[in-house]
Structure 1
Amino acid sequence: MIKRYALLVLIALSVWCCKKGTTTIDGEEIKPVVKPDSAGITSAVIQAKNNTGKIAADVTCTISGTDITALVPDRMLVKKLALTFTTRTANTTVKVGDTTQVSGVTITDYTKPVILNVTSATGDVKTYTVKFKVFTGLPVLYITSASAISSKDNYVKGSVIIDANQGFTQEVNSMTMQIKGHGNSTWALPEFKKKPYKIKFDSKIMMLGMAAAKDWILLANYDDKTLMRNYLALQLGKRLGADFTPDCRFVEVVLNGEFVGNYLLTTSVEVNSNRVAIKELSDKNTSDSEITGGYLVELDQKLDGASWFRTTKNLPFVVKSPDAPTAKQLDYIHNYFQAAEDALFSADFKDPDKGYAKYINPDSFITWYFTNEIFENDARDFSSIFYYKDRDGKLNMGPIWDFDLSAGNINYTPAQNPTGIWFIRDATWMIRLAQDPTYDLKVRAKWAQIREKEVKQIFTDIDQTAAYLKLSQQENFKKWPILDQYVWPNAVWLGTYDKEVAYMKDFLQQRINWMDANMGSW
């Protein structure tokens, strides 16, 4: 009985040692024998000869663990390909579902990730996930328009096919839509050869994992040679909690069969449950309580809209939503803005009950402020400065918008210098708010809160985005060779993409350092 017990203990110890991965003989460590991976795939190639008319040259896949990946330089729309592969051992079976894959012969649709089930002759099984991306690896929008897109006022009919390129969720890939030009100087100036666009669907559509809506914007970023100022600012806005910051995705755009460059696909600035989520006003909302909101209003010196007003400080505001306010609604929002301005510039402006705090939400203003001041954006009393007021609510700022002329990418305002001034603070309303000690304390407290994490993250964002756009920016500037050319209103034009990114990064570092040093005198 004792011998039997001892034998069981010895067996248990042996098993435990095996589980730990080692055992010893006379004190010397003996490692267990590792069984060969008989079901492995050792190479995978997309060969041009087996995919005639689809790719121009062979593409070697990367095998990492159980992932097989490839980037096909061609802009193919349909990824039905034959994969040439070799296996570790002979008589190995490779299947996709129930379909046996014959190397270099079987055509498989790789639009979405494909699971390869590999079984060796000895019964070993291994599963691989195959992901093929095309062109630069970014999502690709294939847009077809019924006629030339020649106006930012009139839509033309068209369609779009969306290749998410295995980067984002896309439930519907092909749909009809309307398209027109977008922007002001970016659309109107003839030297801006790469044009921005606005897309409108008949119903709400989810785009690349972004919440569904009818309206979408394709920003060209033509005068921003980093292609990323808008993206970086929107990322910062989200981290800071700026109100209703738009979502965005980098995409490649093929228009009527022609590659037209890298674009930033963004949600539009509009009242919508997935955009600026406030009450929508209709002409039937006429009671005194209903007309208190919601409104989306833009400070816009261009007066780009049918319904607008000026305050006594000569600030022009355009009502963006509702599209056609009734006379009573327009009077209400005009009077509310004027009352807020009067309170702000009154002798009692610091009073929490009589002053500006009766009309505006300071926290919303401060978050909007920092996103624009850090980037020293061209957003001082000119345009793309949005406010919203929900029903029975106070006035708030947002969404943030339009950062292509920021971070030193401008040559006609003091904002071309990263140090020396509080650029956004000196706007008409902002400079008055800064004179309130309570508001001043809130600003300094916000800076202390965001400085070491959210603000520092900008520089990680720059490095990661530059790496992500490496192939895309190369293709973009092949199409638009402007890296060594002045494009209005560039402060510099440095000849290479890397130098443009380094210039922007240095500008922002100087800007943030200056804000650090001068926050005490804000």
Structure 2
Amino acid sequence: MIKTYFTILLTCLCTALATAQTFQSSNLPIIYINTDGRQILDDPKIKAEMKIIYNGPGKTNSISDKPNHYDGFIGIEIRGSSSQMFPKKSYGIELWDEQGKSKDASIFGMPEESDWILYASYNEKSLMHNVLTMKLAREMGIYASRTQYVEVFLNNNYIGVYVFMEKIKRAPGRVDISKLKETDLKGDDITGGYIFKVDKTTGTDIGGWTSQYQNNPPATNKTFYAYEAPKSITPEQRTYISSYVANAETVLKSNKFMDKDEGYRKYFDTHSFIKLFLANEISKNVDGYRISTFFYKDKDSKGGKIKAGPPWDYDIAYGNGEYCEGYTYRGFSYQFNNVCPNDGYQVPFWWERMMEDSTFVQELGEEYSFQRRKGAFRLDRINEHIDSLVAQLQVPSQRNFQKWPILGVYVWPQPTPIASSWAGEVQELRSFIINRLAWLDKNIKQPLDLTITATDPENATNVLSMNAFPNPFLDRIYIRIYSPRSEKALLSLYDTNGKLLTQINETLQVGENQVMIQIPPSLHLSSINLLQLESNGQKIVKKMMQQ
């Protein structure tokens, strides 16, 4: 019988004090896990009790508070691959009822679900890599796991700062694709939704398939794709998704892979590939693309293309890898095979092949430019995120590294020199990002701007201007507007017959404004279109060509 945990809170505190963990309260939620003496295994999950003290954002959480956020059972197991060698373990958690059946709940305001992860962040000493990257990915508009720092006690013992985060899973609010039932065996029913991955085989128990194509030389291997979801995948469904990917690869390998109608874009959602590319490249993720890399496919009736993501596992990133040039801010991670061709895990040929498509490269440059100027990759914005994480971790990090005294000590695969303090680790992260963005600015081809202007008739010194690119465009138009005043504006796209195709309202600020128009897939445009900006009685019209 699992003990009721609060009868031993005093013991818990005494244990913490005895091990130099002076712990009365925290600005982070406090999690207590009690296994009633049972050892946590890699598999299967064991039954335990979990209690969470969380008084809300910005509130102090005291060990004398009663559990008020979650108080119930869980199944818990050790998770991870190479990280299992570290003394501070990561854990997979499933919320259970008293009978050991899965149940959903909202934890820390995240969408209700049963499956969660307690990520240890042991060999990544800033404690920020995954949290920061997931934040940047979400700001780019793709799903990435929501996160919450917590402090954890396991069986009365303080075990440090953890990241409580969403497990990658098909579910509303996570990978929100159709639920594939065992009876979905033909027609549109069988076409989605699937999650598969490129990863180590640790923890993979439902199999997968090997690509028919060798990865780009000097690599010599073929990629293994592992089934991730559904867990109850049938033989027919296995055949469907492996055949779909095989067909997509065949088209991608073909000489006609850039064909507008029958090329690789028929199978691959390029926007998702671009955004995962940017998440991997800003972090210089040495394991990116080739390990912990997920893909998913919804039903054909819901788009049905292969999408890249969600992003996952950035501990050995931002310069935190001593192997295969993982320590340098220079170079592209997608070209890993050229750096370490003998490594057992290689980047699938997909990325190199897509980069041979000039339109893909153009779209990549447009997205990167947009994120750098207005979006997630603004350096001041990234530093604001880091400042926020520093504020959360300032005191808890001291307790974490008191429990795990590894600052200034080599932990695989940390390169030298090794910072002697947590503040030093955070500064290394900041410095890496500055250097990395400067390198990417020079090595990702960004669009050139074309400008037309209109003069305010009342004041010739005030000039309204609009840049629009690319031209010709595919399914996005990026617009840069300079406004001499704060005012409302209307952006409209017409065909040459004057038919309104799409329209958006914007409130312009004084100075530069950046806007993006996404062309809906259902909207059929002519080859020549007119983009019109209206603001304060002025109009600027630009001819835009569609590819």
Q: 1:148 aligns with which of 28, 33, 38?
A: 38
**Structure 2 partner of 1:288:** 187
1:198 partner amino acid: G
- Aligned-pair distance for 1:410? 0.6
Q: 1:413 aligns with which of 324, 330, 334?
A: 324
Q: Are 2:30 and 2:152, in contact at CA under 8 Å, matched by a contact in 1?
A: yes
- Aligned-pair distance for 1:174? 0.8
Matched, 1:469 2:380: no
Matches of residues 190-269 of structure 1 in structure 2 within 5 Å?
Answer: 192-202=86-96, 203-242=103-142, 244-269=143-168
Q: How many angstroms apart in 2 are the aligned matches of 1:438 and 1:387?
A: 22
Q: How many angstroms apart in 2 are the aligned matches of 1:502 and 1:209?
A: 30
Kindly name which structure, 1 or 2, has the bigger radius of gyration based on alpha carbons. 1
Look up the SS of the partner of 1:439 in the other structure.
helix
Matched, 1:496 2:390: no
* Cα separation, partners in 2 of 1:54 and 1:281, compared to 1, 3 Å: closer
Q: How many angstroms apart in 2 are the aligned matches of 1:179 and 1:291?
A: 32
**Structure 1 partner of 2:402:** 478
- Aligned-pair distance for 1:173? 2.7
Q: Are 1:307 and 1:324, in contact at CA under 8 Å, matched by a contact in 2?
A: no
Matched, 1:326 2:234: yes
Q: How many angstroms apart in 1 are the aligned matches of 2:68 and 2:361?
A: 47
Look up the SS of the partner of 2:408 in the other structure.
coil
Q: How many angstroms apart in 1 are the aligned matches of 2:125 and 2:399?
A: 13
2:119 partner amino acid: L
1:186 partner amino acid: S
- Aligned-pair distance for 1:263? 0.3
* Cα separation, partners in 2 of 1:381 and 1:246, compared to 1, 3 Å: closer
- Aligned-pair distance for 1:502? 0.9
Q: 1:80-121: per-residue Cα shift (whole Å, max 9, x none)?
A: xxxxxxxxxxxxxxxxxxxxxxxxxxxxxxxxxxxxxxxxxx
Matched, 1:174 2:39: no
Q: Are 2:52 and 2:68, in contact at CA under 8 Å, matched by a contact in 1?
A: no
- Aligned-pair distance for 1:422? 1.5
* Cα separation, partners in 2 of 1:408 and 1:55, compared to 1, 3 Å: closer
1:401 partner amino acid: W
**Structure 2 partner of 1:423:** 333
Look up the SS of the partner of 1:167 in the other structure.
coil
2:108 partner amino acid: L
Q: Are 1:168 and 1:209, in contact at CA under 8 Å, matched by a contact in 2?
A: no
1:385 partner amino acid: T
Matched, 1:513 2:438: yes
- Aligned-pair distance for 1:381? 4.2
Matched, 1:370 2:278: yes
Q: How many angstroms apart in 1 are the aligned matches of 2:309 and 2:193?
A: 13
Matches of residues 69-148 of structure 1 in structure 2 within 5 Å?
Answer: 75=23, 134=25, 136-148=26-38
Matches of residues 326-345 of structure 1 in structure 2 within 5 Å?
Answer: 326-345=234-253
Q: 1:60-97: per-residue Cα shift (whole Å, max 9, x none)?
A: xxxxxxxxxxxxx9755xxxxxxxxxxxxxxxxxxxxx
Root mean square deviation, CA, Å: 2.3
* Cα separation, partners in 2 of 1:53 and 1:342, compared to 1, 3 Å: closer
* Cα separation, partners in 2 of 1:395 and 1:138, compared to 1, 3 Å: same
Q: How many angstroms apart in 1 are the aligned matches of 2:421 and 2:72?
A: 37
Q: How many angstroms apart in 1 are the aligned matches of 2:266 and 2:146?
A: 31
Identical aligned pairs, as a percentage?
30
Q: How many angstroms apart in 1 are the aligned matches of 2:367 and 2:197?
A: 25
- Aligned-pair distance for 1:141? 0.5
**Structure 1 partner of 2:470:** none
> 5+ unaligned residues in a row in structure 1: which ranges?
1-51, 57-72, 77-133
Look up the SS of the partner of 1:206 in the other structure.
coil
Q: Are 2:251 and 2:264, in contact at CA under 8 Å, matched by a contact in 1?
A: yes
Q: Are 1:225 and 1:483, in contact at CA under 8 Å, matched by a contact in 2?
A: yes
Aligned length: 392
Q: Are 2:36 and 2:155, in contact at CA under 8 Å, matched by a contact in 1?
A: no
**Structure 1 partner of 2:52:** 162
Q: How many angstroms apart in 2 are the aligned matches of 1:341 and 1:54?
A: 55
Q: Are 2:369 and 2:446, in contact at CA under 8 Å, matched by a contact in 1?
A: no
Q: How many angstroms apart in 1 are the aligned matches of 2:446 and 2:95?
A: 49
Q: 1:444-471: per-residue Cα shift (whole Å, max 9, x none)?
A: 1001110024212222211221122100
**Structure 2 partner of 1:444:** 365
- Aligned-pair distance for 1:185? 1.0
Look up the SS of the partner of 2:106 in the other structure.
strand
1:148 partner amino acid: R
Q: 1:222-248: per-residue Cα shift (whole Å, max 9, x none)?
A: 000101100000000010112x21111
* Cα separation, partners in 2 of 1:53 and 1:442, compared to 1, 3 Å: closer
Look up the SS of the partner of 2:360 in the other structure.
helix
Look up the SS of the partner of 2:384 in the other structure.
helix
- Aligned-pair distance for 1:147? 3.5
* Cα separation, partners in 2 of 1:488 and 1:346, compared to 1, 3 Å: same
Q: Are 1:149 and 1:179, in contact at CA under 8 Å, matched by a contact in 2?
A: no
- Aligned-pair distance for 1:324? 2.9
2:158 partner amino acid: F
Q: Are 1:213 and 1:274, in contact at CA under 8 Å, matched by a contact in 2?
A: no
- Aligned-pair distance for 1:474? 0.4
Q: Are 1:230 and 1:404, in contact at CA under 8 Å, matched by a contact in 2?
A: yes
Q: How many angstroms apart in 2 are the aligned matches of 1:283 and 1:519?
A: 44
* Cα separation, partners in 2 of 1:53 and 1:367, compared to 1, 3 Å: closer
Q: Are 2:40 and 2:76, in contact at CA under 8 Å, matched by a contact in 1?
A: no
Q: Are 1:146 and 1:156, in contact at CA under 8 Å, matched by a contact in 2?
A: no
TM-score by length of 2: 0.68
Q: Are 2:362 and 2:446, in contact at CA under 8 Å, matched by a contact in 1?
A: no
- Aligned-pair distance for 1:429? 1.0
Q: How many angstroms apart in 1 are the aligned matches of 2:294 and 2:39?
A: 28
> 5+ unaligned residues in a row in structure 2: which ranges?
1-9, 15-20, 60-66, 97-102, 214-221, 337-346, 448-547
**Structure 2 partner of 1:402:** 313
2:442 partner amino acid: A
- Aligned-pair distance for 1:152? 1.7
- Aligned-pair distance for 1:172? 4.2
Q: Are 2:193 and 2:297, in contact at CA under 8 Å, matched by a contact in 1?
A: yes
Q: How many angstroms apart in 2 are the aligned matches of 1:298 and 1:166?
A: 36
Q: Are 2:192 and 2:299, in contact at CA under 8 Å, matched by a contact in 1?
A: yes
TM-score by length of 1: 0.72
